[in-house]
Amino acid sequence: MTESQSTSANSIAAIIKERRSIKQFKSDPLPEGLLEELLNVAVWAPNHGLREPWRFIAFKGEGAKFLGDAAFSLIKRGAADPDFAAKRKEYLSNIPLTIIVVMPEDPRQREWDDDYGAVSALVQNFQLAAWEKGVGTIWKTDPYIYAPEFRNKLGVKPGEKIVAMVHAGYPEVVPASRPRTEAVELLQVVDSYPESGSLE
Ligand SMILES: Cc1cc2nc3c(=O)[nH]c(=O)nc-3n(C[C@H](O)[C@H](O)[C@H](O)COP(=O)(O)O)c2cc1C
């Protein structure tokens, strides 16, 4: 590895560790073309058989109002507090950019698993590429994304799965990080042949 490659690896580590999920965004819109630029980075995710098992629906401006409206009745149905749905609708309607990430649901278990893994890698790529540009994101799986009514409104077809709803915008608040368990506590290294013939 060359000097510059090793520096770049370090900066990837920093971006991975410093990225936070952002819930509060400034109202500023994102620059024209940034969505496409970030997605074009994200699609370099590993994906088995180069199936590229994804498509995207992005909402901004009046589109965000449509998204808020599409979610409203479903949030209202599931919420005990009547004000909650109105607040969520307002919140969704004002997020600078929301991307719905959709994958085809392959009926074969292995292909489904591989595709879900690939789409997850794509979403993380997107989040990291955004963070590098000072843009915050959060991966949401609010319950209504599973509701047929919401899916229909968004044109998500039977046989497609919404993997993520990703909100994006310039962060208003960056929350403190919550520590991760040291990987060494979860790691089993096998460097000799087990005497019993299997791992305990
Ligand atoms: C598959 C997936 C689904 C998530 N869904 C939600 C969600 O519905 N609501 C939410 O507040 N955060 C959601 N998150 C974000 C996590 O809550 C967040 O990553 C976690 O709290 C760690 O914070 P960090 O991303 O700032 O490190 C989701 C993350 C993943 C990977």
| ipTM for the complex shown | 0.99
Using the mean position of ligand 1's atoms as its centre, give its distance from the Cα of residue 20 in Å. 9
* CA–CA dist 141, 119 (Å, integer): 14
Average pLDDT over residues 52-71: 98
Structural domain contains residue 103: yes
pLDDT band at 2 (very low <50, low <70, confident <90, very high): low
Q: Is the pLDDT of residue 103 over 60?
A: yes
> In what helix (H) or strand (E) does residue 181 lie, and over which residues does it extend?
none
Q: Relative to the CA of 20, which ligand 1 atom is closest?
A: 26
**Angle CA 36–26–20, to nearest 5:** 75
Percent of the chain with pLDDT over 70: 95
Residue 106 is predicted with a pLDDT of: 98
Structural domain contains residue 32: yes
Residue 5 is predicted with a pLDDT of: 53
Using the mean position of ligand 1's atoms as its centre, give its distance from the Cα of residue 149 in Å. 24
- Long-range Cβ pairs for the range 140-143 (8 Å, 24+): 140/164, 140/165, 140/166, 140/167, 141/165, 142/71, 142/75, 143/74, 143/78
Structural domain contains residue 197: no
Q: What is the total count of domains within the chain?
A: 1
Q: Relative to the CA of 141, which ligand 1 atom is closest?
A: 8
**Which CATH number characterizes residue 29's domain?**
3.40.109.10
Residues forming the annotated binding site for FMN? 19-21, 48, 139-141
77 DSSP 8-state letter: H
Q: Is the pLDDT of residue 127 over 80?
A: yes
Q: Relative to the CA of 23, which ligand 1 atom is closest?
A: 11
43 DSSP 8-state letter: T
- Distance (Å) of CA 95 to CA 13, 28, 65, 145, 184: 28, 9, 9, 17, 38
Using the mean position of ligand 1's atoms as its centre, give its distance from the Cα of residue 193 in Å. 39
Residue 15 has phi, psi (to 5 degrees) of: -65, -40
Using the mean position of ligand 1's atoms as its centre, give its distance from the Cα of residue 68 in Å. 20
Residue nearest to atom 13 of ligand 1 (CA): 140
The tens digit of pLDDT for each residue in 13-55 reads: 999 999 999 999 999 999 999 999 999 999 999 999 999 999 9
81 DSSP 8-state letter: S
* CA–CA dist 126, 24 (Å, integer): 18
Residues 6 or more apart whose Cβ sits within 8 Å of residue 17:
177
Residues lining ligand 1, Cβ inside 6 A? 20-21, 138-142
> Which one is predicted more confidently, 19 or 78?
19
Q: pTM of this prediction?
A: 0.94
Q: How many residues does the chain have?
A: 200
Structural domain contains residue 167: yes
Structural domain contains residue 10: no
Q: Is the pLDDT of residue 11 over 60?
A: yes
Domain carrying residue 81: 21-186
Residue 172 is predicted with a pLDDT of: 98
Residue 81 is predicted with a pLDDT of: 87
Structural domain contains residue 25: yes
The tens digit of pLDDT for each residue in 133-154 reads: 999 999 999 999 999 999 999 9
Residues forming the annotated binding site? 19-21, 48, 139-141
**Angle CA 75–80–81, to nearest 5:** 85
Q: Is the pLDDT of residue 10 over 70?
A: no
pLDDT band at 82 (very low <50, low <70, confident <90, very high): confident
Structural domain contains residue 38: yes
Using the mean position of ligand 1's atoms as its centre, give its distance from the Cα of residue 3 in Å. 34
* CA–CA dist 35, 148 (Å, integer): 27
Structural domain contains residue 7: no
Residue 55: closest CA among 2, 104, 128, 105: 104
